[in-house]
A and B are shown apart, each in its own frame.
Chain A
Amino acid sequence: MTNDLNIQPWRRTSLFRKLQVLLAIVVPLPLVMLIALLAGLDLTMSFITIFVPVQLLAAGAVGYFSYGRRGVGDAALIVITTFLSMFVLILLFSVLWSVVSEGFKALSPQFIYQNNKYVEPTTSLEYGGVGHAILGTLLLVLLTTIVAVPLGFAMAIYLTQSQSKARNMVRTFTQAISGLPSVVSGLFILAIIEATGIGRSGITGAMALFPLMLPTVARVAEESLKLVPVDLRYAALALGSPNYRAFFRVILPAAKTGLLTAVLLGLARIVGETAPLILTLNPNSSTNLNPFDGGLMALPTYVYNYLASYYDTSQARAWGASLVLLVLVAILFGSARIIGRQKSSKSKGKK
């Protein structure tokens, strides 16, 4: 071993090769634009029809010069994956951008906390807001979660920890419910409302959301419990642990992150649901925190109601509410992640 301080880590790619790659990345774009201009083609169309093959050719050529035939396949794969991921990213960001840019017009502090009690379709955006719908959505999500998460976890525990023969039936059943269209879930509750004569309220809305959240939570929780190595369970049992203590002290802590993900995916499943709520909620423009009685507005139904309107201000309100919904989801997810991380770091740092 030498102690020469001038020794540098290997450069795995030479400057020349980097130049080749750079050329392959940079050249095709202006080339295609030039062709399009000269031939008088529509720029977007030519981009889709010509650019991809040209880029493929360029990358393939560089790949061939660098590594021979093996390089062509590599280069093609890189180009294709890059294009496909860019395609997805552009789609995603254009959706996000349209919500953010349109929604921002309606956004103001009062839009967050006021309700729409005295708002007419033509009322200007300086009055009224989505406060009641935010509270309504939170209330619905909370009601559904406190029932669906314990039940979902219980199902997951049953499916992974017991040896019962009924497990396959339960699993098939869960999969069947997870394929249930949300509007059907709403229709079912609507039928109950019509048959029994109970009024529409927060509870009926939560009942319609429940069959959507339960299978998601149960299945994701089951998968995360399955991922805990069976060795750990055996280790605990071999130390003389009863089954339940092995589960609560060893398996559950090991699956904690997965279980948190299960809750988050369950929330994501229901927080934006519209169809079942249209059928089971009584839309309302004032704040109502009583889940057992009276009308309730949720953000998705708010968007639905106002987007259908002819008036510009109403449509702006709908966009604003969409943005608020997006932010709300982000806050819910972010805080859940932070809570999860704090708990795990606490157990790590218990000195």
Chain B
Amino acid sequence: MTTKTDFAMKAENVSVWFGERKVLEDVNLTFPAKQVTALIGPSGCGKSTFLRTLNRMHELIPGAGLAGSIYLDGQDIYGEEVDAVSVRIKVGMVFQKPNPFPTMSIQENVLSGLKLSGRKIENAAEIVETSLRRASMWNEVKDRLNDQATSLSGGQQQRLCIARSLAMNPEVLLMDEPCSALDPGSTRRIEETISELRDSMSIVIVTHNMQQAQRVSDLTAFFLADDNTPGGVVEFGETQQVFHGPIDSRTNDYVNGHFG
């Protein structure tokens, strides 16, 4: 059903509205397979909004509008025949604030995606262990898998949310400022997790942290919105190039901390 492509996802001429207000205009980005792409830019430039269009979470907001095409495995995920649920199974998401399910145990949280998407779980114990290992928290929680998820620390909760997404074996993992609510130690562990995961999936991460973008990403897209105009991509390229030899002067100003 899929045509093999060298990119995991591709956005073509994507524009986004909230009601009457256009917040993104004509975004064209290609996310190569098994690479980490960072989306940077000042607050309110639309990068989180763009991220949410990649797994069709954007349309859950009342009044949300979208134009353009986003391809996953060569198929337009906004195509008429495509079900949003099937997209979200392939494109996982980690939110800014850790949001494990409070009524479930750690183990149930890891398996929640499979249950919620209606799949059969055959080797539960194995899935739980692999997913928690990949999120590098197996050793911390292996003795208390039946504890409530809310008993974990903030950093652990966020890694549990990553494990929950990994249990689904997504092709693409979207991360919306996953470390903004965490301490440096937890941040470092999540960054390590990201670099381990890049062999098996494509990752798109929104971050406000310039150092983090440089540490974890292969490619970087810089978003910017001028006053009262829709946001858009100013520059997109290899992370090294965007940070050390940007073409656009606005990118240069931003990555060097002159504004934003």
What is A's interface to B at a CB cutoff of 8 Å?
163, 229, 231-232, 234-242, 245-246, 249-250, 253-254, 256, 347-348, 350-351
Does B92 interact with chain A (Cβ within 8 Å)? Answer: yes
Chain A residues with Cβ under 8 A from B165's Cβ? 238-239
Does B55 interact with chain A (Cβ within 8 Å)? Answer: yes
Which of B81-89, B193-201, B237-245 forms contacts with chain A? B81-89
Chain B residues with Cβ under 8 A from A351's Cβ? 146
Chain A residues with Cβ under 8 A from B88's Cβ? 237-240
Q: Min CB distance, A122 to chain B, in Å?
A: 59
8 A-B pairs besides A237-B88, A240-B117, A249-B115 with CB distance below 8 A are: A232-B101, A234-B60, A237-B60, A238-B93, A239-B89, A240-B116, A241-B85, A250-B103
Q: Contact partner of B57 among A237, A241, A256, CB < 8 A?
A: A237
Chain B residues with Cβ under 8 A from A347's Cβ? 103
Does B5 interact with chain A (Cβ within 8 Å)? Answer: no
Q: Which residue of B lies closest to A347 (CB)?
A: B103
- 29 example contacts (A-B, Cβ-Cβ < 8 A) are as follows A163-B62, A229-B99, A232-B101, A232-B102, A234-B99, A235-B95, A235-B99, A236-B112, A236-B116, A237-B60, A238-B88, A238-B92, A238-B165, A239-B92, A239-B116, A239-B164, A239-B168, A240-B86, A240-B88, A240-B117, A241-B85, A241-B113, A242-B118, A245-B116, A249-B112, A254-B101, A348-B105, A350-B105, A351-B146
Chain A residues with Cβ under 8 A from B95's Cβ? 231, 234-235, 238
Chain A residues with Cβ under 8 A from B161's Cβ? 235
Bound form: Cα–Cα A245–B164 in Å: 17
Is the pair B148, A348 in contact by a Cβ cutoff of 8 Å?
yes
Bound form: Cα–Cα A237–B60 in Å: 9
Q: Min CB distance, A46 to chain B, in Å?
A: 55
Q: Which residue of B lies closest to A245 (CB)?
A: B116
Does B250 interact with chain A (Cβ within 8 Å)? Answer: no
Q: Which residue of B lies closest to A349 (CB)?
A: B146
Chain B residues with Cβ under 8 A from A249's Cβ? 112, 115-116
Among B55, B93, B101, the most chain A Cβ lie within 10 Å of the Cβ of: B101
Bound form: Cα–Cα A235–B88 in Å: 11
Interface size on B, residues (CB 8 A): 30
- On whether A246 and B60 interact (CB within 8 A), knowing A234-B95, A238-B93, the answer reads no
Bound form: Cα–Cα A231–B88 in Å: 16
With contacts defined as CB atoms under 8 Å apart, how many contacts are there between chain A and chain B in the complex?
75
Is the pair B148, A241 in contact by a Cβ cutoff of 8 Å?
no
Bound form: Cα–Cα A241–B161 in Å: 15
Q: Which of B92-114 contact A (CB under 8 A)?
A: 92-93, 95, 97, 99-103, 105, 112-113
- On whether A232 and B99 interact (CB within 8 A), knowing A238-B55, A238-B93, the answer reads yes
Q: Min CB distance, B98 to chain A, in Å?
A: 9
Chain A residues with Cβ under 8 A from B164's Cβ? 239
Chain A residues with Cβ under 8 A from B55's Cβ? 238
Q: Which residue of B lies closest to A231 (CB)?
A: B99
- On whether A239 and B113 interact (CB within 8 A), knowing A163-B62, A232-B99, the answer reads yes
Q: Contact partner of A250 among B60, B89, B101, B118, CB < 8 A?
A: B101
Q: Sorted from nearest, which 9 A-B pairs have the closest CB atoms?
A: A241-B116, A240-B89, A239-B113, A240-B117, A253-B103, A238-B93, A240-B88, A231-B99, A235-B99
Is the pair A240, B168 in contact by a Cβ cutoff of 8 Å?
yes
Bound form: Cα–Cα A242–B88 in Å: 10
Q: Which residue of B lies closest to A254 (CB)?
A: B103
Bound form: Cα–Cα A348–B102 in Å: 11
Q: Min CB distance, B231 to chain A, in Å?
A: 22
Q: Min CB distance, B4 to chain A, in Å?
A: 23
Q: Which residue of B lies closest to A233 (CB)?
A: B60
Q: Min CB distance, A165 to chain B, in Å?
A: 11
Bound form: Cα–Cα A162–B92 in Å: 25
Q: Min CB distance, A344 to chain B, in Å?
A: 8
Q: Min CB distance, A246 to chain B, in Å?
A: 7
Bound form: Cα–Cα A236–B161 in Å: 11
Chain B residues with Cβ under 8 A from A239's Cβ? 88-89, 92, 112-113, 116-117, 164-165, 168
Is the pair B57, A234 in contact by a Cβ cutoff of 8 Å?
yes
Q: Min CB distance, B180 to chain A, in Å?
A: 14
Chain A residues with Cβ under 8 A from B117's Cβ? 239-241
Q: Contact partner of B85 among A232, A234, A242, CB < 8 A?
A: A242
